[in-house]
Amino acid sequence: MQLDVSVRKQQGTFEFNAEFSLTGRRIGLFGPSGSGKSTLMHLIAGLLKPDSGCIRLDGTVLFDAAAGVNLPPEKRRVGVVFQHAHLFPHLSVRRNLLYGWRRTPEADRHIDPEAIIEVLNLAHLLDRGVNLLSGGERQRIALARTVLTCPRLILMDEPLTGLDEELKFQIIPYLNKVFARFDIPLLFISHSLLEMRLMTEQVLVVGEGRVEREMATEELAQSAWVAPRQGYVNLLRLGRPQPHGDLWAYPWGDARLVLTDESDSDENVVELDSREILLFKRHPEATSARNMLPCTVGKIFTVGNRVRVELHCGAQQLIVQIVPESLRELELAEGKEVVAVIKASAFRRLL
Amino acid sequence: MSFLQPSDLDAILLSFQVACTATLLATPLGVGVAYLLVHTRIPGKAVIEGLVNLPLVLPPVVIGYLLLVLFGRRGWIGAWLIRLDIQIIFTLTGAIIASAVVGFPLLVRSIRLGMESVDSSYRQAARTLGAGGWDAFFTITLPLSGRAVFAGMTLMFARSLGEFGATIILAGNIPGVTQTIPLAIYEYTSSPGGDRMALSLCLVSILLSFVVLLASGAASKSLERK
């Protein structure tokens, strides 16, 4: 997807100004509430008219003030999944799902309703009304409804805000499955760094009505570390586990990690706080922790009394946070060998 | 002597005919005006709103007289209609027009409140799903304000059943042609010895109004359940 935006919009005392050019498939719009993320989404979807500028998506002009072009929302083929789902309360789940599909020209309908119903596991809900559904079900239906219009781009406006933690992590795999299977570009709006890291590859950082920076999501996660009291959380992608005594051994690249949590999935995402990892100069003789990984030290950054150390463990990377005194005692330097020691219970399974 | 005179049955039937026709004819127009007031940014909206609401505060007799001026043989519209051989005054059509004008503000008011209470995000969602402005209005906004439209229709129907002032001026009080229940009651009370008959028609009127109220309550409950 290629999205070029250069717009201005004045709303009361709030002035929004954006100028960027994007190529990618999984892009995040990241920023605090009130920064203008939703405004930008409304401008791209055609629900708000910019004061000036132009918006182009894959070579189609959606809006151009100079040329007097302003495609109405229904002609843009840009799908939107709203924060509160906005399912139509007077229609059944089935009729909600097909609302957009019926209005999509046949030539553009390349997604089969049956397929999305299966991927999002909606078959048992079809004949229900929408007023008694759970938050997670509502969001899945809203997503399916939007996907069925076969849009060129889907905008998701904080779709996970308002869902509790557990539900959030139940829904993310569904989202990933949909976007992988139907190959639709995504612009994901959120103020949660963790959601960004799980859903996107690239982010636009929005603040005070402007697009401030564009960077890889991982880079954003690492830069957030500079702020005081913000720790870095490692997200590790693990394979299918094998029983290991009372515990579970998960493949992680060439290495193997022992965790207390069970899983029956081929792909697992766990988080590991960078402060939960201990470093040893040599392999310890015996320890209660179950994971001892020989690693090579990469780059070292110091901010105040915190030191961030990159560790390379085969092809994988881990980030560890220590204090300057430990750095001196261990005589850490780039290229040195160390052993990272992690307790089996330090990992938290997300997906 | 029976409880009701044969002419009373005519009056009851006529009342129904007038109220039903006036309500059904006014509803599409009411929806249209409410749409204009809620969803568009036309200039002079305040003036339109004032004109629509005026019959609510004007004495019905004044409305009747204005209608008579408009639809009379020499009126703006009347003179033009007479050439097409259509007469409004002293006919059933006149009674229907009088009822429609008097009840219209109640209808628009109710529909408008209903439309305003429909969250605009539903319309936005419909637009991003490929529905044009009109499509979204007819498939989302209108069904979601269905209860309000129905409530407005009930109010207008009840108001039309009781319409007196404007009707007597525009349509007269002709038994069997334009004499509705209130006009018949008026005639009984102004003729000697008619008290008892006026009272029985009053009872009919109370009964009818009560039935309308019950029916509207039941219908709005069933709409709610949906």
Chain A partners of B132 at a C-beta cutoff of 8 Å?
72, 74
For residue A188, is it within any domain? yes
The structure tokens listed for A68 are 């007097």
For residue B130, is it within any domain? yes
Calpha distance B142→B136 (Å, rounded): 9
Are A272 and A221 contained in the same domain? no
pLDDT bin (cut points 50, 70, 90) of residue A176 is: confident
Residue A99 to residue B119, Cβ atoms within 8 A: no
Instruction: Single out the residue in A195, A226, A257 at which a domain terminates.
Output: A226
Are A266 and A298 contained in the same domain? yes
Query: In the prediction, which pLDDT does B19 show?
Result: 95
Interface of A to B at Cβ within 8 Å reads: 45-47, 72-74, 78-80, 82, 84, 86, 88-90, 99-100, 103-104, 145-146, 149
Are A59 and A114 contained in the same domain? yes
Residue A73 to residue B122, Cβ atoms within 8 A: no
Are A219 and A239 contained in the same domain? no
pLDDT bin (cut points 50, 70, 90) of residue A170 is: confident
Calpha distance A225→A79 (Å, rounded): 34
Half-sphere exposure of A307 (CA within 13 A, CB side): 18
Calpha distance A153→B83 (Å, rounded): 61
For residue A131, is it within any domain? yes
Are A179 and A53 contained in the same domain? yes
Using CB atoms, pick whichever of B125, B129, B133 lies closest to residue A103: B129
pLDDT tens for A294-331 read: 999 998 888 888 888 999 988 888 999 999 999 999 89
Contacts of B203 (CB under 8 A, 6+ apart): none
Q: How many percent of chain A have pLDDT more than 90? A: 46
Are A180 and A279 contained in the same domain? no
Are A42 and A57 contained in the same domain? yes
CB A94 within 8 A of CB A105: no
Query: In the prediction, which pLDDT does A7 show?
Result: 93
CB B16 within 8 A of CB B160: no
Residue A88 to residue B126, Cβ atoms within 8 A: yes
What ipTM is given for this predicted complex? 0.80
Query: In the prediction, which pLDDT does B1 show?
Result: 46
Calpha distance B70→B22 (Å, rounded): 18
For residue B140, is it within any domain? yes
Dihedral of the alpha carbons of B70, B71, B72, B76, in degrees to the nearest 10: 50
pLDDT tens for A118-154 read: 989 899 999 998 988 988 899 999 999 999 999 999 9
Domain of residue A314: give its range: 233-344
The structure tokens listed for A95 are 């009729």
The CATH number of the domain where B88 resides is what?
1.10.3720.10
Global pTM value: 0.81
On average, the pLDDT of chain A sits at 89
Q: Write the DSSP assignment of A218-237 as a string of letters.
A: HHHHHHGGGSTTPPPEEEEE
Q: How far is B139 from chain A (nearest CA, A)?
A: 10
The number of distinct structural domains making up chain B is: 1
The structure tokens listed for A236 are 């590790």
**DSSP state for residue B140 in the 8-state scheme:** I
The structure tokens listed for A156 are 């998701």
CB A51 within 8 A of CB A11: no
Best of A41, A44, A86, A138 to disrupt the B interface (most B CBs within 10 Å) is: A86
Domain of residue B169: give its range: 6-225
pLDDT bin (cut points 50, 70, 90) of residue A114 is: very high
For residue A351, is it within any domain? no
For residue B136, is it within any domain? yes
pLDDT tens for chain B, 226 residues: list them. Answer: 467 888 888 999 999 999 999 999 999 999 999 999 998 888 888 899 999 999 999 999 999 999 999 998 888 888 888 888 888 889 999 999 999 999 999 999 999 999 999 999 999 999 999 999 899 999 999 999 998 999 999 999 999 998 999 999 999 898 888 999 999 999 999 888 888 889 999 999 999 988 988 888 887 777 765 5
The CATH number of the domain where A222 resides is what?
3.40.50.300
Are A240 and A194 contained in the same domain? no
For residue A349, is it within any domain? no
The number of distinct structural domains making up chain A is: 2
Are A289 and A340 contained in the same domain? yes
CB A234 within 8 A of CB A274: yes
Are A38 and A67 contained in the same domain? yes
For residue B71, is it within any domain? yes
Chain B partners of A100 at a C-beta cutoff of 8 Å?
129-130
For residue B160, is it within any domain? yes
For residue A159, is it within any domain? yes
**DSSP state for residue A284 in the 8-state scheme:** -
For residue A190, is it within any domain? yes
For residue A350, is it within any domain? no
For residue B1, is it within any domain? no
Chain B partners of A138 at a C-beta cutoff of 8 Å?
none
For residue B147, is it within any domain? yes
